[in-house]
Amino acid sequence: MSDQTPLEVALPAAVVDLIGQVQYETPGDFPVEQGYIATSCASVENGNPLFWDPEVADALTNGPIAPPSMISVWFRPHHWAPGRTEEALPLQVHFDLKATFDLPEAVMTDNTIVFHDPVRPGDVLKTRQILRSVSGPKTTKLGTGRFWVIDVEYLNQHDALVGVETYTGFGYRRDAA
């Protein structure tokens, strides 16, 4: 008897082989910076003195840190860069799956973030992506497609884990009206 569920049997072997594999281990484009921390806090009117008052940051966290929820910000590529010939995509495994299954649209439905060591200005994070699962075909109010779960691990320049983010995406094709 096979260990695979019917849904897994329906997946292409190339996709099954990727489940659990580390992919796209890449460094961030730039060091974590104070200005972006202020921009993020301003966007949600977050007045936490930890991010605005250096004395509070010294007292509580031995110096400035970034809001934990900013963790994904530090690996999102620039919208444009000299010499780039293809669009850089921040969660490449997600876009690979859209292409593999020919699903032009996608949304994220669930997102879990676990925070470890604080991220500090000057840190250069690196990330790696791990596909955890892909569902069989599903139909929702958006259209017909598949759900998938992707882990993104974040480490700093000392190889200390700073966070793990788990995304559930739904890639879909809008149903004909």
| End-to-end Cα spacing for the chain | 42
- 37 Cβ partners below 8 Å, 6+ apart? 51, 64, 66, 67, 70, 121
- When the beta carbons of 16 and 26 are compared against other proteins, the nearer one is 26
- When the beta carbons of 3 and 45 are compared against other proteins, the nearer one is 45
Q: Minimum distance from CB of 16 to other proteins (Å)?
A: 27
- When the beta carbons of 60 and 99 are compared against other proteins, the nearer one is 60
- When the beta carbons of 54 and 137 are compared against other proteins, the nearer one is 54
- When the beta carbons of 12 and 47 are compared against other proteins, the nearer one is 47
Compute the distance between CA of residue 62 and CA of residue 65 in angstroms, rounded to an integer: 9
Q: Minimum distance from CB of 83 to other proteins (Å)?
A: 18
Q: Minimum distance from CB of 18 to other proteins (Å)?
A: 23
AA letter at 84: R
Q: Minimum distance from CB of 4 to other proteins (Å)?
A: 28
Chain residues in the site for other proteins (CB under 8 A): 36, 39-50, 52-53, 55-56, 59-61, 67-70, 72-73, 76, 79, 90, 105, 107-118, 142, 174
3-state class of 83 per DSSP?
coil
Compute the distance between CA of residue 154 and CA of residue 177 in angstroms, rounded to an integer: 42
Q: Minimum distance from CB of 14 to other proteins (Å)?
A: 26
Write down the residue that tokens 């925070």 correspond to: 115
Which residue in 162, 65, 64 sits closest to 117, CA to CA?
Answer: 162
